[in-house]
Amino acid sequence: METGMPTNVSAQTDKAFEANGLGVSLSEAVETTQEDAGRESQSERWVEENRKAFAEYDEVVEGNGVFSEGRRLF
């Protein structure tokens, strides 16, 4: 995948000028936001894909307790 490819992005002009005046790079802000959104989306997808396994594990713990329960020193 190519990085640094020019792309058009819509932004509120006054906010873009304000950010620029504060030394904020709009390109870096967009990249960071895009990366954060991607990670969040992957995390949400992983939780959804594993929801059944979580429920099954919860049933096992309810019926049997957790590993080494009663033997832990903490």
Instruction: Tell me whether residue 45 is in a domain.
Output: yes
Q: By the 8 A CB rule, do 7 and 1 touch?
A: no
Structural domain of 54: 25-62
For the chain, the domain total comes to 1
Q: What global pTM score does this model have?
A: 0.66
The answer to whether residue 8 is domain-embedded is no
In a domain, 71, yes or no: no
Residue 67 lies in a domain: no
36 domain-assigned: yes
pLDDT digits (tens), the chain, 74 positions: 566 778 888 889 999 999 999 999 998 999 999 999 999 999 999 999 999 999 999 999 999 888 887 787 76
Residue 32 lies in a domain: yes
Helices and strands: H and E segment counts in the chain: 3, 0
How many other CB atoms are there within 10 angstroms of residue 27's CB atom?
A: 12
Residue 57 lies in a domain: yes
**By the 8 A CB rule, do 29 and 19 touch?**
yes
